[in-house]
């Protein structure tokens, strides 16, 4: 059996087109144009690429983009002052501070300075807490994208055994919360987990967010399982996920490729969150199909 490919690139393109339609309607009906501010501190090459593609994607769906680039040595207070200005700016509906920040900065303090209603990454304590307690939140983009792919493939994840490998605040933890809220039975694995291959063999859904190339082996996969590979690893053979794709594809029911799986969903969900934030601040109902 060869697994079906979950085409995140195509799904994300459809999602972006739908968002563009909703942005146009917002403009026509209410005279509102959503605005996303992206803040980059320093010159990290990977971050610069992400920030550029976020700016391009914003313009393509008809939103306004505000790019703020600060030198690596910027004092933290200057960044906090910029965030305060963006919090107060009515043209800005979403604020994203590209991580990682330079070492002299306190990442948690910077992130939590973002107004929760503009926190389109969903990384503030308030949004993480809302997600964990089942309240309306801004949800981190990568796990939101994974959830959309899973629902599209499976219809519902209710009652399924889901294994999330990785417990970062950015991917693993919010992914687990979203699956739990959707009534999956969730196990979260990390570097101290014992017997990971056997845990994996029981899982109907595997979400791998480890950061190690081809870490999840083909013979760990339950036949027919749905495998979501979040990993982006730069290797001599190019970009590789956290799953041994060739081997897993022989066993799984469906699997995301890398590239072309989760990656494109992340940016599409950032646009989705910006639109949701805009609707909420104007007292409009949440745009359809963009929230969990």
Residue among 9 and 69 whose Cβ is closer to ligand NDP: 9
Which amino acids are annotated catalytic? Answer: 54, 98, 121
270 binds ligand NDP (CB under 6 A): no
Residues 260, 30: Cα–Cα separation, whole Å: 35
For ligand NDP, how many residues bind (rule: CB under 6 A)? 25
233 binds ligand NDP (CB under 6 A): yes
257 binds ligand NDP (CB under 6 A): no
Within the chain, residue ranges assigned H as helices are 8-30, 45-60, 76-88, 107-111, 125-132, 141-154, 172-181, 196-201, 245-249, 262-281
| Closest separation in Å from C-beta 229 to ligand NDP | 9
103 binds ligand NDP (CB under 6 A): no
Residue among 170 and 279 whose Cβ is closer to ligand NDP: 170
Structure tokens at 9: 């690139």
35 binds ligand NDP (CB under 6 A): no
Phi and psi dihedrals of 162, rounded to 5?
-115, 130
Q: Which among 90, 45, 47, 42 is positioned nearest to 66, based on CA atoms?
A: 90
Site string for ligand NDP, 207-226 (x = CB under 6 A): --xxxx--------------
Residues 121-180 that bind ligand NDP (CB under 6 A): 142, 165-168, 170-172
CA dihedral sign, ordered 105, 95, 72, 48: positive
Residue among 65 and 257 whose Cβ is closer to ligand NDP: 257
Treating both helix axes as pointing N-terminal to C-terminal, what angle do 172-181 and 125-132 enclose, rounded to 10 degrees?
30
Q: What is the 3-state secondary structure (H, E, C) of 141-161?
A: HHHHHHHHHHHHHHCCCCCCE
Residue among 119 and 279 whose Cβ is closer to ligand NDP: 119
Question: Are the beta carbons of 101 and 75 closer than 8 angstroms?
Answer: no
Residues contributing to the site for ligand NDP (CB under 6 A): 142, 165-168, 170-172, 189-193, 196, 209-212, 230-233, 262-263, 266
């Amino acid at each position: 059996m060869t697994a079906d490919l979950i085409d995140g690139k195509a799904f994300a393109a459809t999602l972006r087109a739908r968002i563009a339609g909703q942005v146009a309607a917002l403009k026509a009906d209410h005279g509102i144009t959503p605005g996303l501010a992206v803040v980059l501190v320093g010159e990290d090459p990977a971050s610069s690429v992400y920030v550029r593609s976020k700016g391009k994607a914003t313009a393509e769906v008809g939103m306004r983009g505000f790019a703020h680039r600060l030198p690596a040595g910027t004092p933290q207070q200057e960044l906090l002052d910029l965030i305060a200005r963006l919090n107060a700016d009515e043209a800005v509906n979403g604020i994203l501070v590209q991580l990682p920040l330079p070492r002299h900065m306190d990442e948690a303090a910077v992130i939590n300075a973002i107004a929760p209603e503009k926190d389109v990454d969903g990384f503030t304590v308030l949004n993480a807490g809302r997600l964990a307690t089942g309240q309306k939140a801004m949800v981190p983009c990568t796990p939101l994208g994974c959830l959309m792919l899973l629902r599209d493939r499976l219809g519902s994840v209710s009652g399924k055994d889901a294994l999330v490998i990785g417990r970062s605040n950015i991917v693993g933890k919010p992914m687990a919360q979203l699956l739990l809220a959707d009534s999956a039975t969730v196990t979260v694995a990390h570097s101290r987990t014992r017997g990971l291959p056997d845990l994996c063999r029981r899982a109907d859904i595997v979400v791998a967010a480890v950061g190690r190339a081809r870490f999840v082996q083909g013979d760990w996969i339950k036949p027919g399982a749905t495998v979501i590979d979040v990993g982006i690893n730069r290797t001599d053979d190019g970009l590789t996920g956290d799953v041994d794709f060739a081997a897993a594809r022989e066993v799984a029911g469906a699997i995301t490729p890398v590239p072309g799986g989760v990656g494109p969903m992340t940016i599409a969900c950032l646009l989705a969150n910006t639109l949701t934030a805009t609707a909420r601040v104007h007292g409009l109902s949440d745009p359809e199909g963009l929230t969990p």
